Chain A
C-alpha cells in the first residue's frame, strides 16, 4: 500500500513539476516580453516626448484650438499625454505577446476580440476628447460674448453650453462602446429634454423677473438711444 501511495505521490509531484516546467518558459517569456516592452516603451516614450517638444507640439495644439487638452494632460502637457499613451500601448502589446506564450489559441481569440472592439474604443475616445475640447472652446466663447453683452447670467450660460456638449459627447461615446444599449439613448433623451425643459422653466418662471428687467432695460435703451459723446474707432 505504501508503494502505491509513494507511486501516487511521485506521480503527482512529477505532474506538478512537469506542469511547472511547462509553464516556466511561458512565465519567463511573459517576464522577458514585459521587461522588453517596458524598456522599449520607455525609449519610444522618451524619444517621442523630446521630438514633440522639439516641434512645440503643445503650442501648436493650442494654436489649432485644442488648448483645453492641456488641462487633461499630465503636467499640463499634451506632448506628455501622447508619449504616455504610446508607451502604454507598447506595454499592452508586450503583455499580449507574453500571454501568447502560455496559450496561443486563447491569446489569438483575445487579440481578435480586442482588435474587433478597438475601433469602437478609439472612436469613443476621440468623441470624448473632441467633445471635451469643443465644450471648453464653446463655453469660453459664450462666456466672453455674454460678458461683452453685459449679460449677468454669462457664467450660467457658459456652464450650460459646456455641459450640454459634454453630455452629448458622453452619450455618443457610450453608444460607440455599446454600453447600456437603448438605456443610454433613453437616458440621454430624458436628460437632454430635462435640461431644455429646466432652462425653459427657469426662463419662464424662475428668472422671469430677471428676464423682464433685462428686456425692459433693452427696450428703454433702444428708446433712449442717443449718439454717444465718444467714439472708439
Chain B
C-alpha cells in the first residue's frame, strides 16, 4: 500500500516537474530565486510566500522567483500588484535536518540550484525552516549580502536558547571551527543563501558509493573551496528531524556524516591553525532565561551505567589516559559533576580517529558515544545553570579554544596512528 502510494507520488511529482520545466521557460529570467523547502498547509505556504515576496521585492531590480510546494497556486503568478515576484510550484525534496546527512531521498539544495541556473539567477536562497518562522528580515538578511557581492554563501546564525542545539554546541560547532579555522556557529543548516559562483561550483551532482550524494555541510564545502561565508542573525526555526529519531541515532547520523566530511577534507584542515571570525550581520537579541532548572541525574546515571558496561567498547576507541579521566568522573557526586574541556575534546578526537581507522562497526562506535556525550551535557548544564547569554558564550568560547589547543593531538594521531599514545 505504502509502496503504491510512493509510486503514485513519484508519478505526480514527475508530472509536476515537467509542468514546472515548461513554466520556467515561460517565466524567463530572474535575478533571485527563493525556495521554500519546509512542508506546511496551504495557508502557511501562502502566508510564507507573501512575506517572502514583500521582503525580496526591494532587494532586486529585475525579477525574483519564489519556488514553493503548493501545486494549487498557478505557475507564473505573481505576489502583489507588480509583476516582479513570480511563483513556481516545484516538488522540491522536503528539507529534513538529517536527510542531507543520512543520504535521504533527494537533494533540495541541488534542485534549487538547478532552477537558479536555468533562470540565470545571481543568487538563491533555500529556506528549510518552519514556514511560520519565516520573516522578511530573515529573507533579506540571507539575500542582501549575496546581492551586494560581499560573500559567496550566507548562513543563518539562529537565535536559540542556551540549552538548544547541544550537539552543535558540544561537538559540531567547536570541531568545525578547530578543523577549518572559521567560526561558523551553525555549520549544519537547513537555510542558506548562495551566490551564482557557489551554485556554479556545487550544482553538479556527486556520486558516493555508487549513489547520488546529497549536499550536506554547505558552509564547510564553501570554506574548503576558498569561498567567503557570512553569518546572518535570523529568527528562523529549523524543522525537527523527521521520524523523531532517538538520541543515539541522531548522534550517530550527525557524527558519521561529520567524520566522513573530515576524512574527505583532510588535506585542507591539516594545514589550518587557529580560527578566524566570519562576518556576522544582524542584531543580537538577549535571549530569555530558561524557566525551569534541568535535572541532570538521569544523564549522570546513564554515563555511569555506560562506563560500567561499555568499558571494553570505549577501550577500543579511547586512550588509557582518557579512560582514566572518565573513571574519575564516575566517582564524582552529582553536584560536583564537571567534565574538563580537555577530557571531552580528547573523547571526541579519539572517537573521530576510531571512526577513521574503523576499530569496529562505525554505527556501534558512534552509538557507544552516547553516554559520554550525556556526561558532557550534564556537566555543561550544571555549569551554565543560571548563567546569562554572555557567560554562556564565554563558556563555549573556552570549549572551542580547548578544541583548537588539542588539534595537534588529533593531527599527530591522524597522521601517525601507530605512535605510542598513552
Contacts and interface: CB of A to CB of B under 8 A. Distances in A.
Interface of A: 59, 62-63, 65, 67, 137, 140-141, 143-145, 147-148, 150, 152, 154-155, 228-233
B405 interface: no
Interface in B297-315: 298, 301-302, 305-306, 309-310, 313
Main secondary structure of the interface of A (DSSP, over half): helix
A42 B248 CA distance: 48
8 contacts: A140-B360, A143-B313, A144-B367, A145-B248, A147-B306, A230-B163, A230-B164, A231-B163
B305 A152 contact: yes
From B97, B292, B306, residue with most partner A Cβ within 10 Å: B306
Contacts of B163: 229-231
A144 B364 contact: yes
A223 B11 CA distance: 43
Contacts of B167: 232-233
Contacts of A232: 165-167, 247, 250-251, 377
Contacts of A137: 361
Given A147-B371, A155-B309, A67 B166 contact: no
B358 A233 contact: no
A68 to B, nearest CB: 9
Contacts of A228: 294
B325 interface: no
Contact of B309 (A59, A154, A230): A154
B292 A145 contact: no
B359 A150 contact: no
Contacts of A150: 298, 301-302, 305
A230 B166 contact: yes
Given A147-B370, A228-B294, 7 more contacts: A147-B302, A147-B371, A150-B298, A229-B292, A231-B163, A232-B247, A233-B165
B71 interface: no
B10 interface: no
Nearest to A137: B361
Interface residues of B, number: 39
B241 interface: yes
B381 interface: yes
From B254, B290, B361, residue with most partner A Cβ within 10 Å: B361
B290 to A, nearest CB: 6
Q: Which 3 A-B pairs have the closest CB atoms?
A: A230-B163, A63-B358, A148-B248
B55 interface: no
Given A62-B358, A65-B361, A150-B305, A233 B241 contact: yes
Contact of B359 (A62, A65, A147, A230): A62
A67 B317 CA distance: 13
B2 interface: no
A150 B309 CA distance: 11
B146 to A, nearest CB: 27
B290 A148 contact: no
Given A67-B359, A230-B163, A233-B250, A144 B310 contact: yes
B97 A140 contact: no
B248 A231 contact: no
Contact of A140 (B247, B313, B381): B313
Contacts of B250: 232-233
Nearest to B366: A144
A65 B360 CA distance: 7
B291 interface: yes
Nearest to B246: A148
A140 B294 contact: no
Contacts of B248: 144-145, 148
Contacts of B164: 230-231
B294 A229 contact: yes
B358 A147 contact: no
A67 B357 CA distance: 12
A59 B361 CA distance: 11
Contacts of B222: none
B17 interface: no
A59 B354 CA distance: 12
A230 B254 CA distance: 18
A145 B313 CA distance: 13
Contacts of A155: 309
A154 B301 CA distance: 14
B364 A140 contact: yes
Contacts of A143: 309-310, 313
B368 interface: yes
